Structure 1
Amino acid sequence: MQVNPWAVTSIALVVVVTFYLGHRTSRFARSTHDFLVARRTVRSRRNAAAIAGEYISAASFLGVAGLVLKEGADALWYPIGFTAGFLALMLFVAGPLRRSGAYTLPDFMEARLSSTGLRTVSTWFVVFIGLLYLLPQLQGAGMALAEIMPTPAWAGSVLVTVVIAYNVIGGGMRAITVVQAFQYWFKLFAIAAPTFVLFAVFATGGAGGSGSGGALGDPAPPTFTGQTQVSVETDVTLGVAEPTRVRVGDAEWTTWQPGTDHAVEAPATLTFPAGAPVPTVDPAKSANTDWLLPSPDLDGLLSTYSLLLALFLGTMGLPHVLARFYTNPDGKAARRTTVQVLLLLGLFYLFPVMLGMLSRMFVPELLVTGDTDAAVLALPTGMIPGLGGQILAALLAAGAFAAFLSTASGLVSSVSGVIATDLLSGKVRDYRLSSLVVALVAVALAVLLPIEDLTLSVGMSFALAASTFAPLLVLGVWWRRLTWLGAMVGMCAGGGLVLAAVVANVVSAHTGGWAPWVLQQPAIVTVPTAFLLTIVVSLATADRIPDDVGAVMLRLHAPDPLGFMRDRAVQRFGRAEDRAQGGSAQGGSGQGGSGQGTVRPAGQPGATGATSSATRTSPGRHRK
């Protein structure tokens, strides 16, 4: 393959800048409070950019365009759901979650329901969700690097893992906040600028690549404008909507008929004559008439509803998203951050959709190989041959790598923080050890497991989050009668069903693809099951409602200026505002001021406004 030197250079620059920013800010990280919640001093504007930066993952930068190329109208629900999830987060969770004073999701569960067992189970679900979400980031990095230079698929995964591990181990949340905020604005520029250029070229008829495969309004499938050779690197099964002439390798020309599956074993070279309709890998839509309209059948409608339910509720259960809200100074700042995130994400998702539409016209050969996630990277050179296309592809490749780095950083940081504080002693060295182990496990799984559609893989992570933590957060914040036993049963039932669906999908992929749609989009079953079981078991165990539920609910919902909020981390890790070098070093050993519980008065910057009447000593390991 031809190496794009501009893309290699741009990726190298992104890696160097990420490394530099992480190294520079990690020098100020000393205490456990720095590593977990960046001292809770991140203001809304920067935090919004950081949240958007880590939320725009491989599924957003590459996967959305690939799904639009393949599925058309049905794929538009992904960017809508990704954005709308923050609306649910803002309405139901953001402010109360920050007022709880928790510093991890399991910590909130224990603070609300007084159960160390529930906290432990929550910890393991955070690990499962984090790893499930981390895999497509690392695999996407490998695919992106292999698209621009002759490297094995694991090279990009290892490169991203090394950079994020260094930043997270060096400075935790404090180090990656600046990195993620910078990467959002860079990703927005990296995808917006090429989109404007490519649409300008398209509007003026100046595309000089392989040519358009036909207008999107044409009823027929896209076609090859000239004789085209397509290299197939993985086994595929293709279907055609019309009789299609094809030559496999050096064999004689033959005609593929519609209604028949045509298996192609890799490696193979397929040659199509000019004007031949483009075959597609199932379940991609061949005809543009089908591509332009949503699925009319009942299974497609239910699958869409299931997807929307997973995306709408799953956002509030993603550990790396919630971890960023712990860094806000107060509940008001958390709500303001969420509104700004909605604006930033809504702006970004305009561009992958437009690139997906252009990809169907100018790089339809991706429908043959099934490599639709590469649409964003292949489109510039497909439309503009030569130096111009290479520069645009380089900018998009750099933006894609920024997406991998920012999301993976947030996932490793949040999962490591939970492991360090809930399974280990909570010292800085525990956080660093956890970060190293999480990074190694994730990169090993990314190399060993096959690469699936990036957005579909991420969608399963949303389904798991929606079926475990969303019911607990919504009911825990707004329903006084929730008990720890009801929460435990609902979380295990919802999460267990999703994990069973993940296993079934893996088995199905290797045994003929028999899995029905409900196993690929299980949220429509798992989320109501989790909510129902949580409510029923809680009502049946009303004697287990915590005695201090009134004080806890007051803390969650009272306005910030009243001063009922208190940081639970203070009891264990020392004062958040202690900036003295000696105090920081002591906090870094996990021993700083754990018995003082001293906080700022309400109304001052970074105030926690604790009052003894509205707080309690956390059970279990926090009762010291």
Structure 2
Amino acid sequence: MNPTAGIVAVVLVAISTALLGILGVRAARTTSDFYVASRSVSPWWNASAISGEYLSAASFLGIAGLILAYGADMLWFSVGYTAGYLLLLVLVAAPLRRSGAYTLPDFAELRLESAAVRKIASAGVVTIGWLYLLPQLHAAGITLRTVIGTPAWVGPVAVAAVVLVSVVAGGMRAITFVQAFQYWLKVTAIAVPAIILVLVWRADGAPTVAESGPVTFTDETSVQVSADVQVQLPEPVQVHAAGTVDGQEVDGEITLPAGTTTIDAGTEVQFPAGAAVPHADGLRPVDSAGWLFPMNDGHPYALYTTYSLIVALFLGTMGLPHVLVRFYTNPDGRAARRTTVTVLAMLGVFYLFPTLYGALGRLYAPDLLFTGRTEAVVLLLPARILGPEAGQVLTVLVTAGAFGAFLSTASGLTVSVAGVISQDVLNRRISSPVTAFRVGAVLALTVPTLGALGGLNLGIADVVGLAFAVAASTFCPLLLLGIWWRKLTDVGAMAGLIVGGGAATFAVGATIVTGSSTTAAGAFLAQPAAWTVPLAFITMVVVSLLTPNRRPRGLWRTMVRLHTPENLALNRGSWDPERRFRR
């Protein structure tokens, strides 16, 4: 791709995002404007904003990359991301809106009348927000390096800068406009090229992958290695290489031996037609049969990892702070339900398309398994199928969509984390809530930006899946029990948040640091939700039953408020964060 075209796409998206954020200044004057857009966002606009915020780098790039590498098993990501909103619709959306809270810690303090629970909930919001921001910024580096050739640090810094301008300028009201715009940008950017690529695939005779055997290069293929990589070869293969292989300078015909081979950045390797594609270290080789059929890839714990992933995705959506804060912006509980139904439709439309990129990538871009850059398949596929010249227009479009994905999700996460930092860390140090929010936004972006600059050992969707596991193990139990079980106590909630959240965070940290493995311990750490979510629920219930004297004094008043429709005129008042600042 012409780097100039890529730069134009990125700059246009960045400028439009910044301008929409700046326009929000005119409407954002109060604390309510900055935190929840004065609770006046219509269901259609809110659904567009939620969808724009939710469709992150994992959705735009990560799912397609996982399907390219592992096939049918990875379809659970798109199904789970969408289905989680169904549980949110039925169990949480309306009561959460009626609570009148601004953030999840607000809800925890309102329901349990405990400042200690609020502090623990605040720590959870920040942890999940940073864990989710990390892959967004990392993916921005991948995208800009792929389409423009910039160093890896440019993407994270650019996204952080644009997000900071938008958030600091207008808070939640400005971000609502930004994210609604970016949803439609992302749908257009991923759908139009996908439809064209499918039509070209049909005209090409609709080729399919083999029903058995490893993935192979269909034609003689030359691969330029852009970063140092270790690859696994099942058997020796003769190639033409120019560069550095296993520490030796080569230029000509060589035989890559079976086992692990190290290839340095800048090396060009030419594979003959029919050669098996070597897999980058960290990518589990999956033959055609395992790729086509679920739980048939030879992984020893495939059943456990599949169901644990389902638990994380279905219940994790319910516990994502940047998603839940959106429901506080609806006028009432009925609008919150209508918003959720619209979100289900919008997400369902979007998730039709990453699957197509992953499947076509298996046919036209198998070399990405060799370099390990499977997340780049959405960006590279148009040029692979249509040729460099014809595919450039589509590449510009998907580049703009990918950059929009990073900006919209990072914006929502920054708002949710900044809200917590400003209320629970800076409120006693900075008198103005709006100023505290802006300073909190800077702090919210600093840590994940530094983390993204340090690199990741896991794929984008993998890290996001781990963030879902932490959310499912903390805020999902707190919300469900807090809304629907009157016996929950502050001590029980604290114990569940610490035990479930601590176990999930430990598993996440161990997996990020050491990488995933095929052992039993590796499977339990890589996909912890199947055991950490029940652990959190059980801990909250048992400890609450053992401490009945810790039930809040205003329990019945709060429960009536959560479950009484607004039109009955029994649900009055709202959480006032400015009152908290004045205390």
After TM superposition, the score normalised by the length of structure 2 is 0.93
Q: Are the aligned partners of 1:237 and 1:261 in contact in 2 as well (CA < 8 Å)?
A: no
Q: Is 1:532 the equivalent of 2:533?
A: no
CA–CA distance in 2 between the matches of 1:451 and 1:329? 42
- Residue by residue, what CA displacement relative to the aligned partner does 1:287-339 show, whole Å, maximum 9, x if unpaired? 21110011246611110100010010111111110111000001111011001
| Counterpart secondary structure, 1:416 | helix
Instruction: Give the alignment of 1:114-263 within 5 angstroms.
Output: 114-205=113-204, 215-240=208-233, 244-249=237-242, 250=250, 253=253, 261-263=259-261
- What is the CA-CA distance between 1:511 and the residue it aligns to? 11
Could you say which residue in structure 2 is the equivalent of 1:320?
322
Please give the alpha-carbon distance, in whole angstroms, between the structure 1 residues aligned to 2:389 and 2:125.
45
Amino acid at match of 1:294: P
- Name the residue aligned to 2:246: none
C-alpha separation between the residues in 1 aligned to 2:305 and 2:406?
28
What's 2:288 paired with?
288
Question: Runs of 4 or more off by more than 4 Å in structure 1?
Answer: 240-243, 251-257, 510-515, 621-624
Distance in 2 separating the partners of 1:237 and 1:515: 24
Give 1:205 shift. 1.4
Q: How far, CA to CA, are the matches of 1:218 and 1:255 in structure 2?
A: 28
1:216 Cα offset (Å): 1.8
> Does the 8 Å CA contact 2:469/2:527 hold for their aligned counterparts?
yes
Using a 3 Å threshold, how does the CA distance of structure 1 residues 74 and 134 change in structure 2: closer, same or farther? same
Matched residue SS, 2:214: coil
Whether the 8 Å CA contact 1:62–1:376 is kept in 2: the answer is yes
Matches within 5 A, 1:192-591: 192-205=191-204, 215-240=208-233, 244-249=237-242, 250=250, 253=253, 261-267=259-265, 268-281=267-280, 282-296=282-296, 299-425=301-427, 427-450=433-456, 452-509=458-515, 516-570=522-576, 572-573=577-578
Query: Number of paired residues?
Result: 568
Deviation at 1:251, TM superposition (A): 6.1
2:55 is aligned with what amino acid?
I
Q: Alignment partner of 2:415: what SS?
A: helix
- 1:234 and 1:153 map into 2 onto residues whose CA distance is 11
Shift of 1:451: 5.6
Mark the CA change 1:240 to 1:9 in structure 2 (over 3 Å): closer, same or farther.
same
How far apart, CA to CA, are the structure 1 residues paired with 2:11 and 2:284? 34
1:610 counterpart residue number:
none
Residues in 2 aligned to 1:244 and 1:302: alpha-carbon distance in whole angstroms: 35
Residues of 2 paired with 1:566 and 1:200: CA distance? 56
Deviation (angstroms), 1:277:
1.9
Query: Offset of 1:283 from its aligned partner?
Result: 3.6
CA gap 1:512/1:518 in 2 versus in 1, 3 angstroms: closer
Query: Given residue 500 of structure 1, which amino acid in structure 2 is its aligned partner?
Result: F
Distance change >3 Å, CA 41–CA 510, structure 1 → 2: closer
What is the DSSP-based 3-state SS (H/G/I as helix, E as strand, rest coil) of the residue aligned with 2:474? Answer: helix
Q: Does the residue aligned with 2:515 lie in a helix, a strand or coil?
A: helix
Per-residue displacement from partner, 1:334-391 (whole Å, max 9, x unpaired)?
0110011000000000001111100110011000011001010010111111322011
Residues 159 and 406, structure 2, Cα contact 8 Å, conserved in 1: yes
**Cα distance in structure 1, aligned partners of 2:516 and 2:112:** 42
CA–CA distance in structure 2, aligned partners of residues 269 and 509 of structure 1: 27
Contact in 2 for aligned 1:102/1:569 (Cα 8 Å)? yes
Displacement, 1:28? 1.5
Contact 2:560 2:571 in 1 (8 A): no
> For residues 448-484 of structure 1, what are the alpha-carbon distances to aligned partners after superposition, in whole Å with 9 as ceiling and x for unaligned?
2336300001001000000011000000010010001
Deviation sequence 1:462-520 (CA, Å, 0-9, x none): 00000011000000010010001011001111111111112222332399999611111
The alpha carbon displacement at 1:49 in A equals 0.4
Q: CA separation of 1:514/1:547 partners in 2, compared to 1, >3 Å: closer, same or farther?
A: closer
Shifted more, 129-138 versus 281-290: the winner is 281-290
Specify the SS of the correspondent of 2:153. helix
Flag structure 1 segments of 5+ consecutive residues without an equivalent.
207-211, 574-593, 595-620
1:264 is paired with a residue of what secondary structure? strand
- 2:37 is the alignment partner of 1:38: yes
The 1:555–1:512 alpha-carbon spacing in structure 2 relative to 1, beyond 3 Å, is: closer
In the alignment, is the contact (CA less than 8 A) between 1:218 and 1:289 conserved in 2? yes
In structure 2, distance between residues paired with 1:151 and 1:514 = 40
- 1:252–1:388 distance in 2 versus 1, CA, 3 Å: closer
Shift of 1:244: 3.4
Please state whether the residue corresponding to 1:68 is helix, strand or coil: helix
CA contact (8 A) 2:99 2:575 kept: no
1:154-191 C-alpha deviation (Å, 9 max, x unpaired):
11111111111011011100111011001101110110
Contact 1:101–1:565 (CA under 8 A) maintained in structure 2: no
Q: Distance in 2 between matches of 1:168 and 1:217?
A: 49
The gaps in structure 2 that reach 5 residues or longer are: 243-249
Instruction: Give the Å deviation of 1:546.
Output: 1.3
Distance 1:451 1:178 in 2: 34
Aligned-residue CA RMSD (Å): 2.2
Looking at structure 2, the residues matched to 298 and 538 of structure 1 have their Cα atoms a distance apart, in angstroms, of: 38
Identify the range of structure 1 (275-284 vs 541-550) with the bigger mean alpha-carbon deviation.
275-284
Q: Distance in 2 between matches of 1:223 and 1:510?
A: 25
Question: CA contact under 8 A between 2:235 and 2:259: conserved in structure 1?
Answer: no
Q: Give the Cα–Cα distance (whole angstroms) in 1 for the partners of residues 162 and 519 of structure 2.
A: 37
- Contact 1:100–1:567 under 8 Å retained in 2: no
Write the letter of the residue equivalent to 2:443. Answer: V
CA distance, structure 2, for counterparts of residue 65 and residue 512 of structure 1: 22
